[in-house]
Every structure is written in C-alpha cells, then in structure tokens.
Amino acid sequence: MNDLSYMKQALALAEKGRGWTSPNPMVGAVLVRNDRVVGRGYHQRPGGPHAEVNAIDHAGEKARGATLYVTLEPCNHFGRTPPCTRKILDAGIRRVVVAMADPNPAVRGGGNTYLQDNGLDVTTGICEQEARTLNEAFITWVTTGRPFVVAKCAATLDGRIATRTGDSRWVTGPASRQFVHGLRHAVDGIMVGVSTVKKDNPSLTTRLDGAAGSDPTRIILDTHLSIPLASKLLHQTSPAPTWVVCGAEAPADRQMAVEASGARVVTAALTEGRIDLSALMQQLGEMGITSLLIEGGGTVIGSAFAAGIVNKICFFYAPKILGGDDGIPICRGVGPERMNQSIAVHDLSVHRFDTDVMLQGYLKPF
C-alpha cells in the first residue's frame, strides 16, 4: 500500500468523531511499520487524547521506527492536552505524513517544523482536499471566528416547502429525513424562526436509527419574544440548551418567563426591525458555535442568503408538484432584479435518497 491508501484509512477514522469533537477538529491517525498497520486512533472528544496519542498508545513498542499518517498537523503547543509532537518523538517514529497544515493562524506550521527540526521526515498535502472538506466547519470558525452555516430545505419539484395552509408533513421521505438527523448530529447549532415554532412546534433534536446522536443547541430567532411558553423547545429533556434570540426592546417580563422555562435569552442587534444575521454569526462564533444548520422557514432562509452568511446548501427535492403559486416558497423576501445578480453555487453534487434528490453545494470557500 502507499501513502494515499494509508491516509484514506486515517480519514475514515477521523470521520468517527463527527458530532463529538467540537470545538476541536476531527482527526484520525494510522501507524504503519513494514507495510503493516500497527496502530490506529482518532480524536473522540474535547479534552480527550488526540488521534496521534491514541494511535501510538495502541501500537505500543511497535510505534518505534514506524510511519505516522495523520489527517491534521500534529499540535506543538499545550492546550487541554500536552503537545503531540513530543509524544511522536518519544515514541521513536521516523516519518510523519500529514494531510493538511493546522488552519489556526496562531499555530500553523509549528508542529511540522518542530518535527523536521528534530530529524523526522515530514510529508504534507496527502489527501489535503479531503481533509479540508472533513473539517470545513472547524476551518471556517478558526479562521473567521464565525460558524460554518448550512442551509437546508425540503421542497417539491416546483420549489414549495409547504402548501398554502402551511402543511409540510412530509415533503420528503424517511431516508432524507434520517440524513437530516445526521446533519443535526454533526453541527453545534440548529436555527429556525419563531414562526416555524408556532406552526410546527418542533423538537429540533437528533434521532438516528439505531445509533446515539448529539443534540445541537437550538437557536430560535424571535425579535419580540413571542414564542409560546408551552413550546416543546422550551421543555426538552436534552443536554443541549435552547437559546431564544431577541432584540434589546423585547419585554422584560417575557425574557423572565422564557428563562424561567429553562431557555437562555440572547440579545442581538437588529437591522430594519429584524435580527441582524451577520452580526449574530459573529456573536454565535464567540459563544462557541462552530457550525450551524438553518432549517427554516422560508423567511429565515431568504434572510440568510440576503445576509451572505450561508456557506453550504443541502436542498432536498421530492418527486411531487403542488402545481399552484400559493404554496410557501423555499425563500421569502425581496430577491434581485436581474438574473446575473443571483447567488452562484459551486462544487455542486447530487445525492439520491430513495425517490428524493439532494443537491449539495458551496456558496463561498472555506
């Protein structure tokens, strides 16, 4: 086997940490000696051992003279755990193959340089794009201070997310909905508008078939704090919190009532009477939200595109047609006057979920 094959194994290990490592990146590591894998590891939780440490501990004495394949540059600084570079040197590893440099500008390159200065052969850039895609949320957050934002919708072929009465259960099928629960598991936060709460009374929890999942922080846009106090979101038996985002002029008695229910009220800046989504992203990033899934409704999705905060889309289309012009569209609000002012989607890919189709693409680089 070659460097590419072993790095792909490390990437597969890193994927096991999805949904569990934030605000840390997902990292996988494989140790190889004499063309045999002698150690494997991945980062499992914040504050826990890094992937390299787990792989070295797994290998034991077999790590001496081995090659380490790791999906992210080994750390060379003290954080919650000691530097991985020291562990690598102490283990007697002779060569390190790295998929990508640490994107954090404060530490980028330090680990690779330290290992090279201490006589190790360091190769970088193997499966770099795959590694960057794996940690697209971490890269965005650590370089911009803002969360990586995914806009998701489920629509008919004629672009409606609900009928004129607001009925939306269900647009897409079970396979699509299960994939969305996987998206919820993977992100730090999930955001909807208060109109969606009033209409659907959602739980916004993660429910994976046959597997444990982590619930995202539930973030409700509610300028005037009009959320019904009996809403499921305010009474979840979940370790993840609920944040209700409002303007500074929201009534004090409503703030007290919402917080008495167990939710947190977050005051945010307004623009034209609505939550300023761009400013809110900076605020959420400072609060530790590295990734955010926007699930609607149409006004929130339209506002998110208008504010320029969306990094990625996951648009699901079911083989259904409402056939009228009175259903609820994917986006609400004022759009551009000319087609050349539309938002371009890059790196578009198509995925099938039974009879549904999902279009996935990027609006900006990460």
Residues 217, 227: contact at Cβ < 8 Å? no
Block residue for tokens 């259903």: 327
So what's the pLDDT on residue 79? 67
- Helix, strand, or coil (residue 180): helix
As given in the structure block, the two tokens for residue 116 are 């090279």
Question: Distance between CA atoms of 301 and 22, rounded to whole angstroms?
Answer: 25
| pTM summary value | 0.94
Question: Distance between CA atoms of 227 and 293, rounded to whole angstroms?
Answer: 20
Question: Distance between CA atoms of 109 and 93, rounded to whole angstroms?
Answer: 19
| 28 closest CA partner among 83, 60, 72, 61 | 72
What is the 3-state composition of the chain as percent helix, strand, coil, each rounded to the nearest 5?
A: 30, 25, 45
Q: Divide the 366 residues of the chain into consecutive groups of 10 and give the mean pLDDT of each group.
A: 94 97 97 96 95 96 96 83 88 96 83 92 96 97 97 97 92 97 97 94 92 94 96 91 96 95 95 95 98 94 96 98 94 94 96 98 85
Residues 53, 78: contact at Cβ < 8 Å? no
So which residues are the catalytic ones? 52
Q: Give the H/E segment covering residue 356.
A: strand 356-362
As given in the structure block, the two tokens for residue 151 are 């806009």
| 278 closest CA partner among 230, 255, 310 | 310
So what's the pLDDT on residue 279? 98
Block residue for tokens 């444990």: 212
Residues 245, 222: contact at Cβ < 8 Å? yes
So what's the pLDDT on residue 236? 85
The DSSP line for 61-91 is GGGTT-EEEESSPPP-S-SSS--HHHHHHHT
